[in-house]
Chains A and B, each alone.
Chain A
Amino acid sequence: MKDNHVPHAYVVVYSTSQAIKIEKLLQERSITSKLVPVPRQISSDCGVCLQVVGSDIALVEAILAKSEIEIQGIFQ
């Protein structure tokens, strides 16, 4: 995979619907994100989370705070 060397961060959310809602929100602001299964080391949840580029974290956090979306956490 091409992006193997870019450090990723994971936005862990409560549900898939919420993940898609956030994905759309980020898309509107041209921030790339990808829905992926939650990495096992982060949570035992069977759902999906959003993979974002590590350097976008501050931006993502600001957007989520502004939209008053409560998430489980952001992990690197």
Chain B
Amino acid sequence: MVYLDNAATSWPKPPGVALKMTEYLEEVGANPGRSGHRLSVEAARIVYQTRESIAELFNAPDPLRVVFASNVTEGLNLALYGYLRPGDHLITSSMEHNSVMRPLRDLARQGVELTILPCSAQGQLMPEQIEDALQPNTVMIALNHASNVCGTLLPISEAAVIARERGVTLLVDAAQTAGAYPIDLERDQIDLLAFTGHKSLYGPMGTGGLVIGERVDLDRLLPLKRGGTGSRSEHEEQPDFLPDKYESGTANAVGLAGLGASLDWLSERGVLSVRSHELGLMKELLEGLSSFSEVVLYGTGDPDLQTATVSLNIEGVQPSEIGQVLDEEYGILCRVGLHCAPAAHRTLGTFPSGTVRFGLGAFNTHDDINLALDAVRELAKR
């Protein structure tokens, strides 16, 4: 079996992940930070350690500015619903995932003004487009770091410079890049970074969140949910300090224990080393695929301008059909169709039938790429 669906969820996980999660369930198990007994304190320490590892990975100023949520979608919802008010203007791109588009469409109905910048047919955005779209009421620029459909990277650093100059908040959806591509909150000047644990951070599902930069006005950013935090229990009002303000209800501590283990693995291996491994595989894959005349490739075609997610079509064959044959006859697991990003597919010209997406990961090998190339070659000749 060849697993090429890492852009949806990475698999397999580093060996320590399952171990840490089992250990948590069997030996700790208590509610983190609620009760003050030894197991509760131990649970809180494990959650805190993961918070610290996330802060370290993204060079966040303070572990307490890492807010955990169930996934990147919840992190993005917190940022968008928490920050935007009717009358505000937001700039985004036509390459966004529905995790951004759907909240924005809903917020637009509530009176938030949207500008959706059209990207090129390769999924690229020019920084000048952002500059030109700014209005006096622009409060946020929300961009994905890389497309989940074709991997194309957006100009985050350039957007950050514009955002800083104009006093606008920059929200980055790092679903596809966190762990796979270097991110540094300070260097990249990102105000809000939404991340997920189960993709390139190699952790379990049900983990993710939002890292809140120092420039963000916390009074303005409202929580998505309110409830028990294990702090200020004498008050019926939500606490106003980090991270409790945004983290109500018992945390997914077992998931965060697993994420902590995967972050240890990632920090040992290094984001740059994972990136260079994936670059090598991606180059082979792109070179091989572009030699087949029946294959249409999406994105820039330049490995340096994208993550290791490659989208393609075979002329005259539906992606769904390809997906089924790849799975059943070749044991190659990938994702086909629309990848929860209709706007991105319209931009790339692949709406509504979608694409075949190979999402490479740290555990893929040259053999995996060769098997995928052999399969596509055979399918294209049918």
**In the complex the two chains form, what is the Cα distance from A45 to B230 in whole Å?**
8
**Cβ contact within 8 Å between A20 and B233:** no
**Cβ contact within 8 Å between B33 and A16:** yes
Question: Quick check: is B45 within 8 A (CB to CB) of the other chain?
Answer: yes
Q: Which of B238-246, B267-275, B327-335 contacts A (4 or more CB under 8 A)?
A: B238-246
- Considering only CB atoms and an 8 Å cut-off, how many residues of chain A contact the other chain? 18
**Cβ contact within 8 Å between B230 and A16:** yes
Question: Quick check: is B366 within 8 A (CB to CB) of the other chain?
Answer: no
B244 to chain A, nearest CB (A): 5
Binary contact track A15-34/B, C-beta < 8 Å → 1, others 0: 11111110000000000000
Residues on B with beta carbons closer than 8 Å to the beta carbon of A37:
35-37
A37 to chain B, nearest CB (A): 3
**Cβ contact within 8 Å between A20 and B231:** no
Q: Which residue of the partner chain B has the closest CB to A43?
A: B234
Question: Quick check: is A36 within 8 A (CB to CB) of the other chain?
Answer: yes
B43 to chain A, nearest CB (A): 10
Question: Quick check: is A35 within 8 A (CB to CB) of the other chain?
Answer: yes
Count A-B contacts at CB 8 Å.
71
- Most chain A CB inside 10 Å of its own CB: which residue of B35, B44, B239: B44
Q: Which residue of the partner chain A has the closest CB to B41?
A: A35
Can you name 16 A-B pairs with beta carbons within 8 Å? A14-B231, A14-B244, A15-B239, A16-B34, A16-B231, A17-B47, A17-B51, A17-B243, A20-B45, A21-B48, A21-B63, A35-B41, A43-B234, A47-B231, A47-B233, A48-B33
Q: Which residue of the partner chain A has the closest CB to B235?
A: A45
**In the complex the two chains form, what is the Cα distance from A14 to B40 in whole Å?**
17
**Cβ contact within 8 Å between A15 and B48:** no
Mark A residues whose CB is within 8 Å of B. 14-21, 35-38, 43-48
**Cβ contact within 8 Å between A46 and B230:** yes
- Most chain B CB inside 10 Å of its own CB: which residue of A18, A44, A47: A47
Q: Is the interface of B mostly helix, strand, loop or mixed?
A: loop
Which 9 pairs of residues, A with B, have the shortest CB-CB distance? A16-B33, A37-B36, A46-B233, A15-B231, A20-B48, A48-B36, A44-B234, A16-B44, A35-B41
Question: Quick check: is B297 within 8 A (CB to CB) of the other chain?
Answer: no
B199 to chain A, nearest CB (A): 25
**Cβ contact within 8 Å between B244 and A35:** no
Question: Which residue of the partner chain, among A21, A44, A46, A48, contacts B41 with CB atoms under 8 Å?
Answer: A48
**With A15-B241, A36-B36 as contacts: A45 and B48 at CB distance below 8 Å:** no
Residues on B with beta carbons closer than 8 Å to the beta carbon of A16:
32-34, 41, 44, 48, 230-231
**With A21-B63, A21-B64 as contacts: A14 and B36 at CB distance below 8 Å:** no
Residues on B with beta carbons closer than 8 Å to the beta carbon of A45:
231-234
